[in-house]
Amino acid sequence: MLATVDIASLALGITDIAERAAVIAAATKAAATKAASGANRDEVLAAAKRDIEERRGVVGEAYSMRLMRLVTARVTTDMTEAGYRAVPPLDDSAAEAFVDGKLKLRTLWFTVDDSLIPGMTTAITAELSRGRGLLGLAGNVWTGATALDELVQETPQRATDPSWYYTNGALIESVPFSFFTTPNDLSRDIDIRAEASIGDAMNEFLACLRGPAAWWLTDRDSLDKLFDIARTGNPRHILDTVNPDPRRLRGIAVLGVLNDRSAAVAELLAWYRERTEFYDTDSLDEITRFETALAQRYPSYARARIGG
């Protein structure tokens, strides 16, 4: 007969104490039944191992769903207390993603009523991803403009071009919290393996929200700052950190026109057209089409462009 300690050693990978105890108790009972049938020690051990793996899968799925519910409620409460309000997704993505009928990813969106710049929306997302018996929590800071989405929707090429430019909705720029905390591992999540660790996970999330994410937004709280940023590469774009980010540049151009800075936008885009190199998803033809759409929608830009 296997000793309980032998079975317990098979369950060492289960971090939650209550979950581990339940799995060990069930596996011990199954091992006793197997032993009573005349099985030898190796057969009993193999049976106990299979039983634990099966129960870990079932219990882990249920437990990670419980964590998902608890963390969803905690994130919503803490973000509300921080001055944010929950909103539906502000881009083209779904709020939830399923694999084989099981919820695997939930994205919570939060924004503030006070805009840093008229026409620009600032948001924070919290992405909750389920694994077996654990949950990952990841944050993003996001800026966008409804007017950019509206302009893109009217662009004729959208019907035939599935590229990034025509499918990202209102997005101007988005940065994961991991860019601030672990820039060499942008995929890193905050792991939540038990209910007891939810508080520490939220402390880490909120520290990034109030620190690096807030500083990042401060660098984008005026049009003059945005015009300067538009001329620079995006450090997040690993393959090209030198050429200006085309999505960001277009979003900033729209914000400028919305806020009576058409002359500054015309100067920015004239500078951009004269470049000899572009980010690999952009080109002189693409920016010319964008300028044409901008001029057609906003007469003030058409006048500034002609005057330039």
What whole-number distance in Å separates Cα of residue 276 and Cα of residue 266?
18
Looking at residue 159, its pLDDT comes to 42
Q: What is the pLDDT of residues 191-219, one digit of tens each?
A: 998 888 999 999 999 999 999 999 999 99
The whole-number mean pLDDT for each consecutive block of 10 residues of the chain, a chain of 308 residues, reads 55 61 70 73 70 58 85 97 95 87 93 90 95 84 92 65 60 93 83 90 97 96 97 87 92 96 96 91 87 93 80
- Across-strand partners of 209? none
- Across-strand partners of 105? 97, 129
Looking at residue 102, its pLDDT comes to 86
Q: What is the pLDDT of residues 87-98, one digit of tens each?
A: 999 987 889 998
Query: In 37-110, which residue ranges form alpha helices assigned H by DSSP?
Result: 41-81
Looking at residue 162, its pLDDT comes to 45
Looking at residue 39, its pLDDT comes to 72
Token pair, residue 138, equals 């990841």
What whole-number distance in Å separates Cα of residue 134 and Cα of residue 98?
16
Looking at residue 70, its pLDDT comes to 94
Looking at residue 59, its pLDDT comes to 54
- Across-strand partners of 302? none
Looking at residue 43, its pLDDT comes to 73
Residue ranges of the domains in the chain? 4-64, 222-308
What whole-number distance in Å separates Cα of residue 166 and Cα of residue 164?
6
Looking at residue 193, its pLDDT comes to 83
- Across-strand partners of 108? 126
